[in-house]
Structure 1
Amino acid sequence: LRTRDIIIMVILAVALAYFLKPVIDLLEKIPSPFGERGRRILTTIVAMAGTVGLMVVLIMVIIKPLSAEFLNLVELNREWAEQVPDKFEEFQERYEHLISPEALDTINEKLGEWGAAILEWHAEMLKGVVLSGRYLIGLVLIPILAFYFLTDSRSLREGSARLIPAEARDTYHAMLSDMDEVMDNYIRTQLMIALGTGIATALTLYLAGVRVYLTFGIMAGVFNLVLIVGPIVAGIPICGITLLQSGWIAMLVVLGVFLLIQAVGGQVIAPKLLSGGAKLHPVVIIISLLIGAELFGVIGLFIAVPVVAALRVGVLHYRAYVGAEGSPADGND
């Protein structure tokens, strides 16, 4: 495995640990004859086994309809290629008095280019996700690393603190606690919003008569984990497939509901659940996504923002520590 793959595995293991942490903390409240460490190990094993079991059940439940939808999607791509010119001609007939012929020709040409580019881009994204499954060793090591992060986090923290000068250890522990809070809140919040987005989008598409509602619902939920850019990337094919299958009115309804879902998740739920350290400026988020994609590919899009949020907390604590250390010296001069 390359260094990049190892870093990705560690970050995904940390994300899995934060995902399971609330469940494990809840299970630990159940009385047991084991000691504190034994209870932690047992509850971690139970939580991991339960998560794996739930994932297996979900896969078994959705694999058949999902497979059927993928076959439908192949057929729909052919229909799309045939219907796009007709849809554009219909649009042209309705609004030709508002747009010049030269502009219509340009739009027609660009629509073909953009449509091909979007389909090719989504195909490459899907290919990248599928090919990432070849790292079978990662699928084994990620839960193992997450297990140790969950059961030995205290010893790992204390061991790393020994590398820090004694006078800076209090600041170091405070920094780790704040990082822990930021990561915990961010991952839990984004997963909740992604799940809600996926379910709401799938239900909306189903009611709109879209045949591949499950596939695009899952895609909407997954891409919602990529802040700012993800919903746009997911929204384009969702609106396109709705337009082709159910018409303009259904497409506008789906677009309106999709925008409402994003507004509720991004402007109402997230600010209430995210701690201050996880709130980043949109420009910082976009730059983080670009760097994450360049360094780690598709997975980098998902891990960039929480990593930058944690680093921001570290920088703030470092600046506060340096400022506190410098204050007495400044006062003595």
Structure 2
Amino acid sequence: MQQPVRKQIWYWGIAAFLLLFSMWVLGNAILPFLMGAGVAYLMDPLADRLERQGFSRIWAVVLLTVGAVLLFVAVMVLLLPELMRQTGQLINAAPQMINQLHQFVTTHYPNLLPEGSTIGQSLSEMASKLSESSGKLLTTVLGSVLGVFGTIALLVIVPVVAFYLLLDWDHMVERIDEMLPRQHADTIRRLAREIDQALAGFVRGQIVVILILGTFYSISLGLIGLPFGFAIGALAASLSFIPYVGVLVGGATAIGVALFSFWGQPVWIGAVIAVFAIGQAVEGNYLQPKIVGGHVGLHPVWLMLALSVFGTLFGFPGLLIAVPLAAALGVLVRFAAARYKESALYTGCELPPEPAQPTLIEIVPSGTVAKEWRQAQYSHDSTVAQLRRDEHLAQLLSKDQQAPEGHQGPPSPAQLYRDAAKTSDPGKDG
């Protein structure tokens, strides 16, 4: 007897609620495990590729773990301090840039910002507030980054969790597959494949795109000599997962700094503009189509909504699970929309219900069941005996055919069987 669908929905809804509630209560405690699971998920295809090239699973995991740890240490030692330094300098220099922009506009274009205008007062207030809060903002950002990435728990637990999960990843997937409800196993597997394709294509592709764009912007702006070029390039690249937002924010910031630093040198200002124009052309025409491709299934607006909602509800752990949950919810919404179009609510035609299994009661004479069971057992035993005789005869015929030509000896059982068959049926020839 199948369980009603409404009751199944209640059970799965309660399970989802308990999962989200536990994340809300234990968010910071399970943060290292979420990060370790994310690292293991991203590195599993690399481990599978190394296995196909002849490495054992444990050696593939060891090589990947050592490489990831070395890369993380290099980023923390070589890149992060410079990024924090330039970001702090940019925040501290922003009020001065805004004041100079205000003075330039009021001097050369007095009619654009008359004395006491709302826009002018807003610029002055924004510069003063930014100047007051810049130090506090930088301290908060640095404390947040150090609080997330600088603790012993994350530096120790994340690699260990990632190592063990990556080592047993395929076995865990098999165990989860065995625990799926049998009635919906095929549907759940199909939805899981779609979620994996959307998530893997987006996350892995965007990581590669961000690394390429960040390297290009930082090196190009550094060669031009733009102050804070590394921080601006990292900002533009990190926002590139939202179409046009990265290039607009990074480009506006870079051009503003170029106007402040290279005033009277239009060549260098044009070079900064050319860097972002080339970056946008390469990203739109090559990086996004070739690397990310059509796997995405995550609309930028949907992704920003997920980051905002889950970040607000669960903090930093919510930001980590926002992208996977956005991919999962997107697939489930599309599945629900497809089922809705097949339902009577959309078509207006009520489908007839499937026929129920009939329940029949038959009265038979006493001893009927035992008699039928004995007949079935006799038929089973006869079939097994016949199969064994046929198998034995096939082995005898095989041995007879493999005997060397010209061998004279006593007739084999197979030969005797054939002679007997000919004698009993003279019409057969050979």
Q: Shorter-chain TM-score: what band? A: 0.7 to 0.9
Identity %: 24
Query: Contact between 2:210 and 2:240, CA under 8 Å: does it hold in 1?
Result: yes
Q: In the alignment, which residue of structure 1 is the partner of 2:152?
A: 136
SS in 1 for 2:63: helix
TM-score by length of 2: 0.61
Q: Residues 176-230 of structure 1: CA distance to partner in whole angstroms, max 9, x if unpaired?
A: 2222222221111111111012112212321332243334433444454677766
Residues 281, 4 of structure 1: alpha-carbon distance in 2 compared, 3 angstrom cutoff = same
Q: Residues 116-151 of structure 1: CA distance to partner in whole angstroms, max 9, x if unpaired?
A: 488465653343222223543233222233233323
Residues 86, 164 of structure 1: alpha-carbon distance in 2 compared, 3 angstrom cutoff = closer
Tell whether 2:174 aligns with 1:153: no
Residues 287, 140 of structure 1: alpha-carbon distance in 2 compared, 3 angstrom cutoff = same
Where do 1:266-277 residues align within 5 Å? 269-274=287-292
Query: Contact between 1:13 and 1:142, CA under 8 Å: does it hold in 2?
Result: yes
5+ residue gaps, structure 2, are 1-22, 345-349, 355-430
Q: In the alignment, which residue of structure 2 is the partner of 1:52?
A: 69
CA RMSD of aligned residues (A): 4.0
1:111 and 1:166 mapped to 2: Cα distance? Answer: 61
Q: In the alignment, which residue of structure 1 is the partner of 2:309?
A: 291
SS in 1 for 2:52: coil
Structure 2 residue identity aligned to 1:20: M
Residues 124, 246 of structure 1: alpha-carbon distance in 2 compared, 3 angstrom cutoff = farther
Q: In the alignment, which residue of structure 2 is the partner of 1:40?
A: 57
Residues 75, 44 of structure 1: alpha-carbon distance in 2 compared, 3 angstrom cutoff = closer
Q: Residues 8-64 of structure 1: CA distance to partner in whole angstroms, max 9, x if unpaired?
A: 4344223312432343233223235xxxxxx1221011111122223334555547x
**Deviation of the 1:235 alpha carbon:** 5.6
1:164 and 1:298 mapped to 2: Cα distance? Answer: 30
Q: In the alignment, which residue of structure 2 is the partner of 1:94?
A: 108
Where do 1:84-123 residues align within 5 Å? 84-101=98-115, 102=117, 105-112=120-127, 115-116=130-131, 119=134, 121=137
SS in 2 for 1:330: coil
Q: In the alignment, which residue of structure 2 is the partner of 1:204?
A: 220
How many residue pairs get matched? 323
Residues 298, 154 of structure 1: alpha-carbon distance in 2 compared, 3 angstrom cutoff = closer
1:201 and 1:98 mapped to 2: Cα distance? Answer: 34
SS in 2 for 1:21: helix
SS in 1 for 2:54: coil
SS in 1 for 2:27: helix
Q: In the alignment, which residue of structure 2 is the partner of 1:26?
A: 49
Which structure has more relative contact order (CA 8 Å, sep 6+)? It is 1
Residues 259, 310 of structure 1: alpha-carbon distance in 2 compared, 3 angstrom cutoff = farther
Residues 95, 9 of structure 1: alpha-carbon distance in 2 compared, 3 angstrom cutoff = same
Structure 2 residue identity aligned to 1:27: L
Structure 2 counterpart of 1:330, from 351, 354, 363: 351
Query: Contact between 2:106 and 2:112, CA under 8 Å: does it hold in 1?
Result: no
Structure 1 counterpart of 2:297, from 273, 279, 288: 279
1:161 and 1:320 mapped to 2: Cα distance? Answer: 24
1:231 and 1:306 mapped to 2: Cα distance? Answer: 25
**Deviation of the 1:279 alpha carbon:** 2.8
Structure 2 counterpart of 1:258, from 276, 280, 289: 276
Query: Contact between 1:293 and 1:301, CA under 8 Å: does it hold in 2?
Result: yes
Residues 115, 232 of structure 1: alpha-carbon distance in 2 compared, 3 angstrom cutoff = farther
Structure 1 residue identity aligned to 2:109: Y
1:117 and 1:310 mapped to 2: Cα distance? Answer: 42
1:299 and 1:306 mapped to 2: Cα distance? Answer: 12
User: Of the two, which has the highest radius of gyration?
Assistant: 2
Structure 2 residue identity aligned to 1:88: H
Residues 314, 271 of structure 1: alpha-carbon distance in 2 compared, 3 angstrom cutoff = farther
2:169 and 2:199 mapped to 1: Cα distance? Answer: 14
**Deviation of the 1:317 alpha carbon:** 4.5
1:185 and 1:204 mapped to 2: Cα distance? Answer: 28
1:306 and 1:263 mapped to 2: Cα distance? Answer: 29
Residues 301, 164 of structure 1: alpha-carbon distance in 2 compared, 3 angstrom cutoff = closer
1:31 and 1:163 mapped to 2: Cα distance? Answer: 31
Structure 2 residue identity aligned to 1:21: D
Residues 14, 235 of structure 1: alpha-carbon distance in 2 compared, 3 angstrom cutoff = farther
Residues 167, 73 of structure 1: alpha-carbon distance in 2 compared, 3 angstrom cutoff = closer
TM-score by length of 1: 0.75
Tell whether 2:26 aligns with 1:3: yes
Which sits farther off after the overlay, 84-93 or 110-119? 110-119
